[in-house]
Structure 1
């Protein structure tokens, strides 16, 4: 099945010697763990050279909900786990308020390496480009195939671009479910890091709206609980 594409001081690490080729995802049915292991050696775009490691998705193998963000940040790059920094902690709180347990969802990013630029002694996030999104799509596609969620939540413009294959205005497309691929549906919303940048006087309402978007996904989490006898 092919999924349509619809303050710590840091110094830049030394460039690593390039390997002979980028890894290739074998065709046919493989496990999520096998794909995760292959992705660790990915050099399909230049981002691997300055990243600490590939940050692959995590969560139940057959989660009903998959959350897709943009790329790992500084803390994610160092830990190897997605959404563990400030945006991840905000996401955890929003999921809880929406009635969704974090361990019920599969969480990943459109791009698996941290793209950054030095700013004094800090590593500052830099938005991935089209070529980097395209190069990393092979891993996102395999995650979609193997997890086979009922609902995919695109958090932010990069995630929506990677999933839908085109620039997708967030405000015009958020707040409702849409058909995606096969029996999957998609929900477009903001990335939680956006909420960290909203002016103080508007942050509470922006956060409440994000929670409201996530509440549309809550019924899918309930079905996951029922299926696994955990409700």
Structure 2
């Protein structure tokens, strides 16, 4: 009978000083804890100041991010930047990252199409995310989408039902979930996009209000 091996974990790749963001980023570049490193062009680690007051967590890098090696630089990232501006949040005060650091995709002609990471891949990558949170120590964690919310808050959190509501967590003083900007981009009609974009900005204004109180 075959022996079932436990899922691998990125924990074995963590540097001696996980509070050092530069060391974390360098170590993550060589991570092979799950098969996604064979799909992605490179590890896409988080980016932003170590003193960031807000950390935004998405699902995984997309095609643009995989090629650039930077998070939130594609269409969803540009929409997030616009929403942050409309909500009054200074992008320079934020750190952006993803629950999974490699791009998972399937081919469709010449295009690489996003494919959601599975539970094993999310768990394998979780040590990187937890190390980023501990290194940055943000006052607010914002989970963008269901995968990020499950990785940070837990599987019972439902973005459609629980979005825009701060939940207790030992990871940060304030933790909240909302939709991922890519969800808005996937909507077919402009009116739906306008409504959902407005709701995203409303959620981000809650974050702005907390920042104003803690300033």
TM over 0.5, shorter chain: yes
SS of the residue 1:137 aligns to: helix
Q: Partner residue of 1:46?
A: 35
Indicate whether 1:59 and 2:62 are aligned.
no
- Does residue 196 (structure 1) correspond to residue 199 (structure 2)? The answer is no
Contact kept in structure 1, 2:61 and 2:71, CA below 8 Å: yes
Q: 1:111-150 residue pairs with structure 2 within 5 A?
A: 111-150=100-139
Question: What is the alpha-carbon distance in structure 2 between the residues aligned to residue 140 and residue 182 of structure 1?
Answer: 11
Aligned: 1:213 with 2:208: no
Distance in 2, Cα, partners of 1:184 & 1:219: 14
CA RMSD of aligned residues (A): 1.8
Equivalent in the alignment of 1:31: 20
| 1:184 matches 2:184 | no
8 Å CA contact 2:19–2:131 kept in 1: the answer is no
TM-score by length of 2: 0.90
Matched with 2:67 is 78
1:94 paired with 2:83, answer: yes
Q: Deviations over 1:121-179 (max 9, x none)?
A: 10000000000000000100000101011110000000001112324211111122222
Aligned equivalents of 1:50, 1:119: Cα separation in 2:
14
Distance between the aligned counterparts of 2:41 and 2:18, measured in 1?
29
What 5-or-longer segments of structure 1 have no aligned partner? 1-20, 227-231
Q: What is the number of equivalent residue pairs in this alignment?
A: 205
How many angstroms does 1:219 deviate by?
3.2
Quote the Cα distance in structure 2 between the aligned partners of 1:187 and 1:80: 26
Comparing 178-187 with 59-68, which one deviates more in the overlay? 178-187
In the TM superposition, what whole-angstrom CA distance separates every residue of 1:192-221 from its partner, at most 9, and x where no partner exists? 000001231311111100000000111344
Residues 106 and 113 in structure 2, CA contact (< 8 A), matched pair in contact too:
yes
